[in-house]
Amino acid sequence: MRSTKTVHVISAHAEGEVGDVIVGGVAPPPGATLWEQRSFIAEDQTLRNFVLNEPRGGVFRHVNLLVPPKHPDADMGFIIMEPEFTPPMSGSNSICVATVLLDSGILPMQEPETHLTLEAPGGLVRVRADCRDGKAERIYVQNVPSFAREIGVPLNVPGIGTLHVDTAYGGDSFVVVQAADLELDICEAEAKTLAQIGSRILDAANEQLGFAHPTNPDWAHISFCAFCGPLTSTPTGLRSRSAVTIQPGKVDRSPTGTAVSARMALMLAKGQMTADQDFEAISLIGSSFKGRIAAQTTVGDVAAIVPEISGRGWITGTHQHMLDPDDPWPTGYRLSDTWGA
């Protein structure tokens, strides 16, 4: 087999959402910080195109690059590549990364519980893993500080009308919509509808509302649209169905860890949740992430929470992505049937 490059990948998913992990064949990108390394990958596009574009990738795939950490407290660094963006943080991807690190033996596992610290571009991520018989069974991720931004603001969506939406940050930026306002039930049969409507809401939100992170001026857009179902009470807190649209127009198969974080920040700000309650989000496929508020803090001058989210991850295979020197599509390709316009 001829190849001008070989990228070694361990594939995984967290509660249904794919989060592959590059474990070899790629040198760390230039940059004095993980944010600078993230920015290089986002602007250069070479690695993103190779692993995310077809024929190796697709709209359903996220890929994480392991890099040496910059922070002295971190055990490993990782850079997240999603179909359209290279975000500060991702809940499902951090669960996939922790699962791969422990289940494959890259970092040592301690039973019944392993503690490690990951460094994402958005900051340090404390991880606790329940481990048994060589398997990390549940990953607990202390996410970066998360906060509510705008609450109940009008948004005019072409073809839909005026919605009242929230914006928030949970390691990535969200426009948050109540599904009942659109007569949606958040069920499997609505996946395509949610993807299409969510993309339209995202476009409108970025045009009319935008996003201002109080300490990171580089993050000035809204990445995701979160559809929220009604809240129901549990013995320890709250539960709700949810769905998140990811550009270029797909629905997250997991409940989206950053969305759980953003929604808890919103619920606390609205008085819908107290700091001692927990929250469980249910995805379209019935998988769940659990969340709790570990602490309260500030980001700049904005009140914020330190969320902890938890979920399960599984390794699905290993791959060696290669590039034949005669391949006429060395950077891959995207078509509008799945990638959108």
Hey, which residues are catalytic here?
90
Distances (CA, A) of 14 to 71, 223, 271: 26, 20, 30
* Burial (CB count within 10 angstroms: exposed 0-12, middle 13-18, buried 19+), residue 43: exposed
E-strand ranges in 3-83 read 6-14, 17-18, 20-24, 63-67, 76-81
Q: Give the SS3 label for residue 308.
A: strand
- Tell me which H or E stretch contains 177: strand 173-178
Distance CA 308, CA 291 (A): 6
Q: How far is CA 177 from the centre of its chain?
A: 18
Residue 136: beta bridge partners?
A: 131
How far, in Å, CA of 187 to CA of 29, rounded?
40
Residue 299, Cβ density class (10 Å: 0-12 exposed, 13-18 middle, ≥19 buried): middle
The token pair at 45 is 């596009």
3-state secondary structure (DSSP) of residue 297? strand
Extract the tokens encoding 228. Answer: 């929220």
Contacts of 47 (CB under 8 A, 6+ apart): 26, 29, 41, 65, 81
